[in-house]
Structures are given as structure tokens and as C-alpha cells.
Structure 1
């Protein structure tokens, strides 16, 4: 009997070490997404069930981007992306990704700029990481759950989730209102690839209608950090404001089970308000309390009250 107990203890120890090694591999893969990159964006519609559907033009673009590791804890990793334009003289705060481990609460996109809070079981998220993607103003975009796989030298994470229209189409199209994203993220020899198999959907009256499918390839290629000097300085000046912005949004998320935002208030987009606040905060050296007070006021004006 004593030998049996020792055997069980040994097996348990092996599984524990293996699980910890897996988490460490996951964390290293996620943290490797940070860095200095040239990014290429390529999207093309590939199929439609409608015979008379007119395929839209392919989208191709490129940019320089810095992805900054702003939080690194055992079960949460936060990476902030900045677009670097006009050499290194113009910076635009871009998207943010929060990676959380075995997170049972997510905001699932519904439709028409609205998200609903969903609670998952422990089994649903066991061993999995949630990638929570936020807009340039730190409002939600989409949240997706998947398992990192490390095999044969390949490090890969896959998921499927709904999201708003991509920015490249949100101001040009109104023929669909949900993008169902098939996300495949994997590391490469010189950076990482974000491959997508997307479905463009009309969601109405509890039903989804597919209008087109799309292939997307976003390639992040490592580049020299020397051309990102101003970007790093800019972020050091702005990071306190955006830390307060994240905290302010977290308070909103905690208080609501269904979040819906107006696209515009007084003909201004939400990100325009946030960018202006960030610049003023930096220039006038606002305190954290003043940041949060002003941010809360802006968020409240865009929130759609439940009827």
C-alpha cells in the first residue's frame, strides 16, 4: 500500500511539473508577441452563398508597429500596440490585447456595438488562454478563448468568436453587422502571423445569415528598434493616462452584464474624446484621480442606458 501511495505521488508530481512547463511555454509565446515590427495586412473575400453578391476589393496595407509589454503577471499579460507613422514622428495608440489564463468571465459580442457578459464553467476554460482585444480607446472589441499548442517546434493558438466590423470596413459598409472570426495565431522565424478565416454575417431576429467569407493574413515581421525612439518616449508620457483608462473601463465592465455604446456623441467618435483627454492629461500633468474623473464622464456619455 505504501508503494502504491508513492507511485500516485510520483505520477501527480510529474503531471504538476508538466502542467507548469506548459504554462511557462504559453507565457513565453504570448510575451514574444511584443516587440518592434513591420506589419502587412492582406484581406480578400473568397466565397458567398449569394449568386448575385458583388465581391469587395481586396485590402492591402502595411505599417510600422511597436507592441509594448505593459503587464506581466502569472495569469495575465497585457500588450499595447502603437502605430508608428511618418518615419517616427507620428504615433497613434492602436489596439490592446490582454491575455488571461483560465478566465471564466468574458464579454461576448452580440451585434450593433453591444456586448454581453458570459460566465463559463471551469471545465470550459481549463488550460486555456483568453485573448481580450480592445479598441484604440480601450473599449471592448472581441474576446476569444483557445489553447496554446507547442509541438514540433510550432507554437500556435486558435479560437473562434464574434466581433464588430473591422475598422477597414466599419465606415464603408452596412450590409452586415457581425464578423465571426476564425483566429489562428502562430509564431514564425522572424515574428508572428495572425491568420484569419472570417464570416461576414447579418444578425437579426435571433438568426444569422452568411453573406460572404474572407481570408485575412496579418504578418508581424521583426525590425530594428532604432526607428522607434519617439514612439517609446511618447508612450512613457502617455502611459499613466492609459493605465487610468484601463482601470476606468474595468470598473464599467464589472458593473454591467450588457454593454452597448453609441458610435458618436455630438458627432464625435469615442476615440477622438480619449485621444484629446490623453493629450491634455500629458500636457497639464493631471493626477490619477482627475484622469479617472474625466474618463468616467466621457464613458457615461457614450453608454446606452438599458430600457
Structure 2
């Protein structure tokens, strides 16, 4: 029986490695173990949490991407440099997600184990207008079964990032699954990055500026609050808002996303309690094999109409509402489960009914009055 897409996605987010898990290596002697940022802790206590699912071998791109070479062309305007840097994020990647706590404010603080997972991800340009670019991320995963045979590709729509030049207002996360439309501070010459969940509901939006200096193109964000990521809310209950700044830098073979985050409990009366900080590095390295684009394109050809209905529904909501809040579950399910189940029927060629009606009614069920 085919596994529901959302179960595969949950497994991936839990840290199951969708690239080939390295064969176990002999553990180093305790005296030789070293933990980044915590050099005097017992390395065994800080073994990264994650999974061991094995996937197909990958082939990394040799040399540089064409998008990188285009970014280095002389005589580009600042706006065109920015645009090319954003577009350079598209491609097929081996992606690694690496996070470690750097400090805590509790007495006798002991850090949680670092988080590490990796996967294969396709990033496709959905829209490219002069001052707006939309990039769709999708996990395209190949697994090894018990017989060592490769199964896949399994395609799961992942997050999306929309970039807007000189955006006049942002959807700012307030905590408690609530977002508020807020004027952008100093939008001149800067881009907003709006990040959406796997179900296309808003996650966070923040403004920042691209700089291009000596071959290094980097976008640096303002400080930004956002909901907890799945890697955290499944194990942490002592805070409810992740705040911090982000940097995205383009490399010859991909890009690197660095996060410097604070973990904050924000009470309903606005009282704030900072629990600690973490550092995160997400690394996107271009691959030439396995073929991710073909798997994504096949999935998208069958489901894109529905996902466009979902995006358009949210566009209307964000345009009309100054503030909105969401329910975590409806009828015992999370929003992404219902969307993924519907898209899964379309992927299998089933008649799933009126796509637009399903998108609108599903989202409405998750909005608080």
C-alpha cells in the first residue's frame, strides 16, 4: 500500500536521512571527542538526534552552476544582481539541516542534543516577475527497502519562499498562531522574504537587503519572530516563539542559510521570557544524480492546479485581513494532512472533487473567527 504523503513528510522532518546514511564508523575515544560550541561536554551526550533511513547515492555537481556564473557578470544593476542571486537558489540539492543550542538561561542549563538531518530537495521557480520571485521547495526522496532495493521517487511538497522588492507591508507573527499585517520599516532598496508552510499557510515574513561584494552575494534579514519548527515543537514545551536573524549566501554550487535564533516564551499578556539561543546552518549543494526534477515535474503536473487554488485562497485572505489566527487542528487533523491527502488522490489519478471548493473550505475550517 502506498504510504500517505504526509506520513513520509513527517518521517523526513523527524530526521530520517533521505540520502545514503553513512555506514557506522568506529566511535572515537572519549578523549578525542569534540562537540562544536560545547568542547567540554561528553560528546556521547551530544550525539545529534536524527534518523538512519538510507537512500540512493548522490553525485555532487563538479565546478559551478550556470546561475553562479550569470551572477558574476559585470555591469549588472543592483536590482538585477539581487534577482539573479534569488534565482540562483533554484536547482536540485543535497540539503543538510544542522542546529545546536549556543546558550541557555535556566540554572544549571544543559543543552538539548544538536539536531541534524539531510535530504534531497528540488527548488523550482514558480513565478519570475521583475520585482517578485516565488520558489517552491519539494522533497524528492529515494529510499532503500529491506532488500537494499531503491524505491522512489517519493515527492512531497515542502515549503515555499516568495521574494518581493520594496514590499510596503509584512505579515508578522505575533505568537499563538496569530499574524498581523505590519508596515515594513525602511523598504527602500530591500526585499521581503515570505516563507510558507508545506500546506501554503503563512509561516513568517521579514525584510532584508542583498549585498554583493567581491563575489559574495548575501541577504541579511531584520530580526524576525516565527512559529516553532517541527524539529523543536515535537520535543520542547518551554517556549513558543523562535526569533532571530538570517543570512542567505550564494555559493558556486548552491547556497547556505545561516540562522541565529532566540528561543522565547511570549505569554498572552505580552510578557517575554528568553530561554536560550541556537545557531543553525542549512547547506544546499547542487547534485546531478539522482534526477529530482523529473519526479517533481510528474507530481506537479497532476497536483499544481489544486496547489494554485490553495495559494490563491491564502492570497485573498492575506489581502483582506489585517490580523488572523489559526487553529492547530480541525476534526483531529492538521491542515497539511488534509491538503496532502487531497493532492495524493490527484497524484493517483482519482476524482477528488472540486479542487477550489475543497481548498477554500479546508482553509476556512482552520481560521478562527
TM-score (normalizing by structure 1): 0.88
Note if 1:150 corresponds to 2:212: yes
What CA distance in whole angstroms lies between the structure 2 residues aligned with 1:53 and 1:111? 25
Distance in 2 separating the partners of 1:225 and 1:139: 31
- Gap regions ≥5 residues in structure 2: 1-74, 144-151
Whether 1:59 and 2:115 are equivalent positions in the alignment is yes
Q: Deviations over 1:86-115 (max 9, x none)?
A: 254211110000001111121100001111
Q: How is 1:65-144 mapped onto 2 (pairs within 5 angstroms)?
A: 65-87=121-143, 88-120=152-184, 124-144=186-206
User: 1:31: which partner in 2?
Assistant: 87
Match of 2:37 in 1: none
Runs of 4+, deviation exceeding 6 Å: none
Corresponding residue for residue 207 of structure 1: 271
Q: Could you say which structure has the higher strand fraction?
A: 1
Distance in 2 (CA, whole Å) between partners of 1:197 and 1:183 is 6
Q: 1 CA distance for matches of 2:342 and 2:234? A: 24
> Match of 1:33, SS?
coil
**Residues 281 and 291 of structure 1 are in contact (CA less than 8 Å); yes or no, is this contact kept in structure 2?**
no
CA distance in 2, matches of 1:81, 1:225: 17
Instruction: Provide the residue aligned with 2:239 in structure 1.
Output: 176
**1:246 and 2:302 equivalent?**
no
Instruction: Determine whether 1:280 maps to 2:342.
Output: no
Task: Specify the SS of the correspondent of 2:175.
Answer: coil
Cα deviation for residue 20 of structure 1 reads 7.6
Q: CA deviation at 1:53?
A: 2.9
Structure 1 portions without partners, runs of 5+: 1-18
TM-superposition CA deviations, 1:243-283 (whole Å, max 9, x none): 11110111111121111111111110000011122233453
Task: Supply the distance in 2 between the matched residues of 1:226 and 1:216 (Cα, whole angstroms).
Answer: 27
- Name 1:193's counterpart in structure 2: 256
Aligned to 2:77, the other structure's residue is in SS state helix
Q: Is the 8 A contact 1:102 1:127 kept in 2?
A: yes
- Is the alpha carbon distance of 1:55 and 1:285 closer, same or farther for their aligned partners in structure 2, counting shifts above 3 Å? same
Contact 2:342 2:352 in 1 (8 A): no
Seen in structure 2, the aligned counterparts of structure 1 residues 260 and 146 have a Cα distance that, compared at 3 Å, is same
Deviates more, 1:228-237 or 1:246-255: 228-237
Task: Describe how 1:224-263 pairs up with structure 2 within 5 A.
Answer: 224=288, 226-228=290-292, 229-263=294-328
Q: CA deviation at 1:181?
A: 2.4
- Per-residue deviation at 1:119? 2.2
Shift of residue 44, structure 1, vs aligned partner: 0.3
Equivalent residue, structure 2, for 1:43: 99
Q: Distance in 2 between matches of 1:49 and 1:105?
A: 34
Which residue number corresponds to residue 361 of structure 2? 297
C-alpha deviation, 1:286, in angstroms: 6.6
Shift of 1:233: 1.2
Q: Which residue number corresponds to residue 25 of structure 2?
A: none
Superposed CA RMSD in Å reads 1.8
**Structure 1 residues 157-195: Cα deviation after superposition (integer angstroms, max 9, x where no partner):** 011201000111122221100000210110112210000
SS at match of 1:192: strand
Structure 1 window deviating more from structure 2 (107-116 vs 290-299): it is 290-299
Equivalent position SS for 1:218: strand
Matched-pair contact (CA < 8 Å) for 1:165–1:178: yes
Q: Distance in 1 between matches of 2:287 and 2:250?
A: 15
Indicate if the aligned counterparts of 2:306 and 2:359 stay in contact, CA closer than 8 A: no
Q: Secondary structure at the match of 1:173?
A: coil
Show the counterpart of 1:265.
330
Structure 1: distance between partners of 2:351 and 2:89: 31
